[in-house]
Amino acid sequence: MATDPLDGVRVLDLTNVLAGPYCCYQLALLGAEVIKVERPGSGDLARVLGADPDRNRAGMGISFLAQNAGKKSVTLDLKAERGKSLLKQLVQTADVLVENFRPGVMDRLGLGYEVLRRENPNLIYCAISGFGQDGPRKNDPAYDQIVQGLSGVMSITGTPETAPNRVGYPLADTVGGMTAGFAIAAALNANPRGAFLDVSMTDAVISSMGWVVSNYLIGGVLPAPHGNENTTSAPSGTFETADDPINIAANRDEQWQALAQHLGRADLLSQPDFATREDRKSNRHALRRVLEQSLRTRPAADWVGELNALGVPAGPVLSVPDTLADAQSDGRGLIGTLPYGGEDLRLAGSPVVMDGIRPVAQSAPPELGADNTEIWTQLGLSVQDVEDLIEEGIL
């Protein structure tokens, strides 16, 4: 089906916490069979992370639930010789392997790309790390917070008075995971298949900073924090109203003119400080203060509706709960529901709608090792073999 473009693709997910699990979750949503290979006894660290202590104690933390629906789970001790042998057998059946260990860990285990490609020359091996497989920082531990700082993101987030600020969600993990998913999808299209994909979360974030980086490299403009102001135009930013703040992006001259006239401030159009785009940019703070004198006379909802009707882009500044309840988000079905342990588990589906259908997870997040019998007996082990290996701690 068009909504299952990765149907028939087997992915081995050896990852933990977020960047790798997010990548593999996106692949699962698009139809891939994703087998999560976890450490016996503990599994993915995300199983004990999240806002609900009871779920953490049960090994099904919210952090795990968010990124692992639609996957299968097997357990395997990669330090044991029998475990290494079983992974090699599993690799022979796979199209993709994703790991997010520090560079060199898989090689030290005797399970690096060169070893595994001998088991399967068509294997797409994706290594996600904080800084990439080479360079002076390659062996440094990397969490999202660290990458946000090293990538320059924190230096431009906030106002001149408050920066550096961390972005309010794990930006580096998520952008890194999405980048890895994009690279894997591209590699699956290659003929012949088989590749080593080196995905650096830092590289991915720097790449996503586009204009900020290019303005410095090409224009010599030193990146700086500008709060809620869009430095490419004015008036473009966040403005106070009678109740809640709104965003306005009057980036084009005709939008600026329509905004000024609608606010009853057509006089601003003839003022030298605001005559041209560059004038307005240079005097953006004075312009915002003047416009807010009019905007504070009425509530946000009124202005948003009226300005959009005039072709002036405007929108409310919503909380996360309000966003999820908003008719736009809710109406597009981004959040789906899965039956799980007697409750309805609400999870985000794919951010892409295909042929009018949004791909969603087809099964709940798996308990640790839930699919041991199914997967390992496919490789020729008996049910008794599986039970014995579990007893030995190999599975």
Radius of gyration (Cα) for the chain, nearest Å? Answer: 25
User: How is residue 62 written in tokens?
Assistant: 């919210």
User: And the tokens for 89?
Assistant: 């057998």
CATH superfamily of 10-208+334-392: Crotonobetainyl-coa:carnitine coa-transferase; domain 1 (3.40.50.10540)
Q: The pTM is what? A: 0.94
pLDDT at residue 2 tops 80: no
The domain limits of the chain are 10-208+334-392, 236-317
How high does pLDDT run on average in the chain? 96
Q: Encode pLDDT of 93-113 as tens digits.
A: 999 999 999 999 999 999 999
- Amino acid occupying residue 160: P
The pLDDT of residue 128 is 98
Q: Are 246 and 303 in contact (CB under 8 A)?
A: yes
Active site residue 173: yes
What does DSSP assign to residue 347?
E
- 236-317 — its CATH code? 3.30.1540.10
Q: Which of 4, 173, 243, 371 is catalytic?
A: 173
Instruction: Assign 3 to helix, strand or coil.
Output: coil
Residue 256: phi and psi, rounded to 5, are -60, -45
What per-residue confidence (pLDDT) applies to 57? Answer: 96
pLDDT confidence band for 3 (50 / 70 / 90):
confident
Burial of 102 (0-12, 13-18, 19+ CB in 10 A): middle
Residue 295 token pair: 């905007």
The mean per-residue pLDDT over the stretch 272-292 comes to: 96
pLDDT at 333 over 80: yes
Average pLDDT over residues 282-292: 96
pLDDT at 1: 61
Decide: residue 89, CB within 10 A, 0-12 exposed, 13-18 middle, 19+ buried: middle
Q: How confident is the model at residue 330 (pLDDT cuts 50, 70, 90)?
A: confident
pLDDT, mean of residues 248-256: 96
| Token code pair at residue 37 | 């290979």
Q: Is the pLDDT of residue 380 over 80?
A: yes
Give CA 67 to chain center in angstroms. 10
Secondary element (H or E) of residue 290: helix 284-295
* pLDDT (0 to 100) of residue 174: 97
